[in-house]
Amino acid sequence: MIQVNDLHFAYGSNTQDTLRGLNFQIDDGEIFGFLGPSGAGKSTTQKILIGILKNFRGSVSVNGLDLQKLNSEFYESIGVAFETPNLYTKFTALENLEFFAQFYSGATRNPMELLAAVGLEEAAKTRVSDYSKGMKVRLNFCRSLLNNPGLVFLDEPTAGLDPVNLRKMESLILAEKARGNTICITTHDMHVAETLCDRVAFIVDGEISLIDAPRKLKLQHGQRFLDLEYRDGDGLETTSIPMDNLGNNKTFQNILNNHFIETIHSREASLEDVFIKTTGRSLQ
């Protein structure tokens, strides 16, 4: 669905490229994440994919359309939620959604149903200026889905959300995937990338160092050990046991049979560990 080859981009008269030779492909129906620290080039990449930034070098096609030959029809089938909520602040949430819905020629989703899905139905008639940051993020998400897009771009979709709404947002994004839609997320939140993305691209200083499935990366970069905490009399003991041939491991069997186990964890790497190991940079 999205094919990018040797993408370079420089802002204005900058001599140094912000994006330096990106290559990736995003398949139909997958959630693809760009994971990287602020200023890495995630949002710039997204702005190129949605046709805002021109004058890039390399080739970019979205839904088979060469982005150098883009026209406004393109926007009938994509949805975008920017990191900074961009809404009419002196209008209510419902007025905002009803206004934007008028631009699409195809059927649009019911604004009230969208607002209800993100828990804003009771604030539908409240002006956006009275919304909190998290409410604006949720409303922004609703706007991106108005035209029933097959391809959705979400820039930091969970920024500013409390834990309850964070989980709600995650389940809504997964619901979009279940409808067969393709979702492209940019985030610096490792948890979001781990929970939602089928594949992630690590991006630092305008370069992609790695693209793979989070689960595969965590296993590849982890160690095949189990870490246990268990009670031995009054004391708390810890031990690590190789996972290979675990069923025949005498120590493991002894702990299982004779001790009270408090915690047991496999030692796969966290996505952040993999990120730091691969790029030499942290996500903050």
Partner 1 sequence: MRLLAAMVQDIRFQFRHGFYYAYAILTILYIIVLRLLPGTMVYPALTLILFTDICTLGFFFIGAIVLLERGQNLTESLFITPLRLHEYLLAKILSFLFLATLSALLIMLGASIGGKDLMWFVFGAVFSALIYTLFGLIFAARARHVNDYFVKSLGAGLLISLPILAYVRLFDTPLFYLFPTRATLILLDVLGTDYALSEKLFSVASLLIWFLILGSWVYQRFNKYVRHPA
Residues in the site for partner 1, rule: CB under 8 A? 11-12, 50-55, 72-73, 75-76, 78, 80, 82, 84-91, 99-100, 102-105, 143, 147
Whole-Å CA distances, 58 to 5, 6, 180, 187, 264 = 6, 5, 29, 24, 49
CB of 280 to partner 1, least distance (A): 29
CA 29 from centre of chain = 14
Nearer to partner 1, 54 or 265 (CB): 54
Nearer to partner 1, 105 or 258 (CB): 105
> Is residue 8 a contact partner of residue 57, using CB atoms and an 8 Å limit?
yes
CB of 212 to partner 1, least distance (A): 29
CB of 15 to partner 1, least distance (A): 14
Q: In this structure, is the dihedral angle defined by the CA atoms of residues 252, 253, 258 and 260, taken in order, positive or negative?
A: positive
Nearer to partner 1, 103 or 261 (CB): 103
DSSP 90: T
CB of 66 to partner 1, least distance (A): 16
Cα–Cα distance, 192 to 229 (Å, whole number): 29
> Is residue 205 a contact partner of residue 40, using CB atoms and an 8 Å limit?
yes
Nearer to partner 1, 22 or 78 (CB): 78
Cα–Cα distance, 2 to 152 (Å, whole number): 12
CB of 265 to partner 1, least distance (A): 43
Nearer to partner 1, 18 or 158 (CB): 18
169 contact partners, CB below 8 Å, separation of at least 6: 118, 137, 138, 141, 157, 158, 161
CB of 92 to partner 1, least distance (A): 11
Nearer to partner 1, 80 or 172 (CB): 80
CB of 76 to partner 1, least distance (A): 5
Cα–Cα distance, 160 to 34 (Å, whole number): 19
279 contact partners, CB below 8 Å, separation of at least 6: 36, 202, 204, 209
CB of 24 to partner 1, least distance (A): 21
Nearer to partner 1, 40 or 217 (CB): 40
Nearer to partner 1, 80 or 120 (CB): 80
Cα–Cα distance, 35 to 155 (Å, whole number): 11
Here the tokens at position 78 are 């994509």
Give, to the nearest 10 degrees, the angle between helix 133-145 and helix 163-178. 10
